[in-house]
Structure 1
Amino acid sequence: MEPHPGGLLGPAPQRVGRLVFLNGTPSAGKTTVAKALQAELAEPFFHLSLDELRGGYPRRCWSQDHGGVLFRRVLDGYLYMLRDFLLLGHDVIPEAVITPRMLDHYLGLFEGVPVLIVAALSEPPVVSAFERLRLRKAE
């Protein structure tokens, strides 16, 4: 994958960005890990979770998303947005739940980009407790 030839407001990037994918179940600590990486890394890394992007739609849209059509469109938009950021030279730390069925889709989309996939793992009781907190905050 070649860098973008140039932005509307700036020069062409010198390189394609680097991708550190945080993969794990909901409430496994991906956002916490992303923020810790941003704090420790010398270079700036962009972070935006899929949940933050999903927040652009009202909650009622998600309860009406029978068949997951809206979710798949938002997921594709998220992945293509990340790809464009990479092509413009940004280093990116996204979050995902990459299932085995979707792995080839992810790898194909980011072909030619330096990719590191990091598993965010937590014990099931910890994940359950954080998920309950997360759901309470969303109410």
Structure 2
Amino acid sequence: MEHLDSVPPRQGLVIFLNGTSSSGKSSIATELLSVLDEPCFYLPVDAFHAMRSGAAVPPERLATVLHRTWRGFHRAVAGMAAAGNDVVVDHVLSAEWRLRDCLSLFPPRHVVLVGVHCPPEELARREHERGDRPPGLAARQLEQVHAHGIYDVECDTSLAPPRECALRIKEFLADRPTPTAFERLREAL
């Protein structure tokens, strides 16, 4: 058993999957956990929403509660990575402040920003099949989610299955170029 004093400090890697609802982020994340060589944690934003108590939130307070949830999620991810853990994040950057918040928290050299794309027709089909999302949610998110336009690696889940996307990401990790997408976005915003 390791002594805690002998654990070397390390900054964990954040593999940040960004795409609309129903784009395939969760499926890719699940496959990443099985193909990556190092232990890592999967932190989906939906899990943080699911942790909230069942107390009714008045409509006038909903935006505030959601904003605080997302900010807390970002800080939990940053904390896990700062403690040396590699993290796979599943998120929807459907508001510019979310990207800015992440850019301010995560060391940009240690983030791999992955664009998860899917055409609107396929998103609508998946939403209908799932039945747990409001119809048209993904279509409404589409423009803003990818508005920043810069990624380290991109996947189209209508063209490649989740495992193939995960393997592509793993292959990218072997020789990550600089500047990273987060470094370029920090510079631009």
The TM-score, its normalising length taken from structure 1, stands at 0.79
Instruction: Provide the residue aligned with 2:81 in structure 1.
Output: 86
Larger Rg: 2
Greater shift, 58-67 or 47-56, is seen at 58-67
**Match of residue 50, structure 1, among 41, 45, 56:** 45
* Equivalence map 1:104-115=2 (5 Å): 104-111=100-107, 114-115=110-111
Which structure has more relative contact order (CA 8 Å, sep 6+)? It is: 1
Considering fraction of residues, name the structure with more helix.
2
Q: Which runs of 5+ in 1 are unaligned?
A: 1-8
In the alignment, structure 2 segments of 5+ residues that lack a partner are: 134-189
Which one-letter code corresponds to 2:18 in the other structure? N
Aligned partner of 1:119 in structure 2 is 115
Residue 93 of structure 1 aligns to a residue in which SS?
A: strand
Matching residue within 44, 54, 75 for 2:70: 75
Scaled by the length of structure 2, what TM-score is found?
0.60
Q: Closer, same or farther in 2 for the Cα pair 1:135/1:60, shift >3 Å?
A: farther
Identity %: 27
What is the root-mean-square deviation in Å for CA atoms of aligned residues? 2.4
Structure 1 CA distance for aligned equivalents of residues 58 and 28 of structure 2: 29
Q: Residues 59 and 126 (structure 1 numbering): CA distance in 2 closer, same or farther, change over 3 Å?
A: farther
Aligned residues: 128
Residue 11 of structure 2 contacts residue 81 of structure 2 at CA under 8 Å; is this kept in 1? Answer: yes
> How many Å separate the matches in 1 of 2:69 and 2:8?
27
